[in-house]
């Protein structure tokens, strides 16, 4: 559910929930102020530090998870563009008619891979792009088999088959990376601990008799922003932080400059 929800809505909801929890904690703490002494307020301060430490640990752990997935997706784009470029160079060494046909199909393949990135949020279009990818891969493999059978230089044909196999494998790897998100239970835990920490902070302020409005608001906003950045890192095809396709675009442009 969180992955499908707007980041702006999550940010507003988390800030509002945190401030409401802080206010509820403040009101409850103010009622308890007459009952509890200074020692109780000291114990609450200790608990505040503990839960804020747990929250910081969770934020750091979740950020590392999202960052590693983001970097893996970005690296896969570079690896795939390099693999396709290598396959095209080796295909140019194959005899006609397989060589020119392979180069033409790989040009189409680059365009399809760019469309794959653009439509990945649309399930129907993504399935259509995957079907087109499978079709091109099947045609390329059939041409590779013919090239190996007819080649008088098996070493060159073998190198091309190796590079083509890597291209096909990277498609499956990118699909898996696209679906590999930070577990939603971790994100819900972050939100829960955030609200709980702000509620306990408000309770401590109530025991002390001082609302501390601006520090509480600032803390709520900052924590919510960090949580949203973690979620944004885990959405590489939308939001503010996106996986760039520069290497694939540059490959397409270089192929166009080569001519037909």
| Higher local confidence (pLDDT), 72 or 37 | 72
pLDDT at 36: 66
* Minimum mean pLDDT range among 94-108, 159-173, 212-226, 231-245: 231-245
The three-class DSSP label of residue 50 is helix
pLDDT at 123: 67
pLDDT at residue 52 is higher than 90? no
Question: 70 near 243, Cβ under 8 Å?
Answer: yes
* Cis peptide bond upstream of 97, omega within 30: yes
Angle between helices 7-32 and 184-208 (to 10 degrees): 30
The helix or strand, by DSSP H or E, that contains position 210, with its residue range, turns out to be none
pLDDT at residue 38 is higher than 70? no
Average pLDDT in the 15-34 region?
87
Average pLDDT in the 224-229 region?
92
Average pLDDT in the 20-39 region?
80
Q: In the chain, pLDDT over 90 holds for what percent of residues?
A: 37
Angle between helices 213-233 and 184-208 (to 10 degrees): 170
Question: 34 near 214, Cβ under 8 Å?
Answer: no
pLDDT at residue 12 is higher than 90? yes
Band of the pLDDT at 130, cuts 50, 70, 90? Answer: confident
Question: 105 near 143, Cβ under 8 Å?
Answer: yes
Closest CA to 191 of 178, 180, 204, 182: 182
């Amino acid at each position: 559910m969180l992955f499908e929800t707007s980041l702006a809505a999550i940010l507003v909801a988390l800030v509002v929930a945190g401030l409401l929890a802080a206010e509820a904690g403040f009101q409850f703490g103010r009622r308890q102020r007459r009952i509890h002494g200074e020692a109780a307020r000291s114990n609450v301060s200790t608990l505040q530090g503990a839960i804020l430490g747990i929250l910081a640990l969770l934020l750091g752990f979740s950020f590392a998870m999202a960052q590693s997935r983001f970097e893996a997706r970005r690296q896969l784009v570079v690896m795939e563009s390099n693999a396709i470029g290598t396959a095209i160079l080796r295909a140019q060494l194959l005899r006609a008619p397989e060589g020119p046909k392979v180069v033409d199909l790989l040009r189409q393949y680059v365009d399809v891979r760019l469309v794959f990135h653009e439509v990945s949020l649309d399930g129907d279009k993504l399935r259509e792009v995957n079907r087109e990818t499978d079709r091109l891969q099947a045609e390329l493999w059939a041409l590779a088999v013919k090239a190996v059978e007819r080649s008088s230089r098996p070493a060159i044909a073998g190198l091309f088959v190796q590079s083509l196999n890597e291209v096909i494998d990277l498609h499956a790897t990118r699909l898996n990376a696209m679906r590999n998100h930070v577990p939603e239970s971790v994100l819900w835990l972050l939100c829960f601990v955030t609200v709980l920490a702000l509620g306990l902070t408000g309770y401590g302020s109530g025991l002390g008799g001082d609302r501390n409005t601006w520090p509480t608001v600032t803390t709520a906003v900052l924590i919510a922003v960090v949580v949203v950045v973690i979620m944004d890192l885990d959405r590489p095809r939308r939001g503010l932080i996106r996986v760039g396709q520069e290497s694939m675009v540059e490959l397409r442009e270089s192929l166009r400059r080569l001519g037909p």
